[in-house]
Amino acid sequence: MSWIDNAFGIHAQALSFRSQRSSVLAANIANSDTPGFKARDYDFQDALKSYVKGGALSLSNTHRGHSESTYGSNYGGLLYRVPTKAASNGNTVESEVEQAAFADNAVRYQTSLQFLSGTISGLRLAIKGQ
């Protein structure tokens, strides 16, 4: 690892992962009334464990404007959410659950962003020698 990777730690990868998760959760919320839509989410704990073991999270485009996780077999990837109550039309989105997950993810995204911002400010001061 380079000294920059050491300074940023896992927060740079977590930021990218949280951004991708926000897109998935927003799609779930947007499709809460779509018949047959199945809610999806990532297992962040599995992805984090895999990253700590030496992997890396990567995102790629499958089509211009579309993004999808491209985890190796150890990351788990995008999973279907198991609902506590499914709608009669086959939709598994529970708006309250999705909104809570989205809010939690946003707070964690902001935390990683603030950590990275502080680290960059510290590095900038060290480079300037002030």
4 falls within a domain: no
* CA distances for 76 relative to 46, 51, 69, 82, angstroms: 7, 12, 10, 16
Cα–Cα distance for residue pair 92/129, rounded to 1 Å:
55
Exposure b/e, 51-76, CB count within 10 A at least 16 = b: beeebebeeeeeeeeeeebebeeebb
Residue 34: give the domain boundaries.
Answer: 9-128
1 falls within a domain: no
2 falls within a domain: no
Cα–Cα distance for residue pair 68/78, rounded to 1 Å:
9
User: Number of structural domains, the chain?
Assistant: 1
- pLDDT tens digits along 81-117: 889 987 899 999 999 999 999 999 999 999 989 988 8
State pTM to two decimals. Answer: 0.71
Cα–Cα distance for residue pair 120/12, rounded to 1 Å:
12
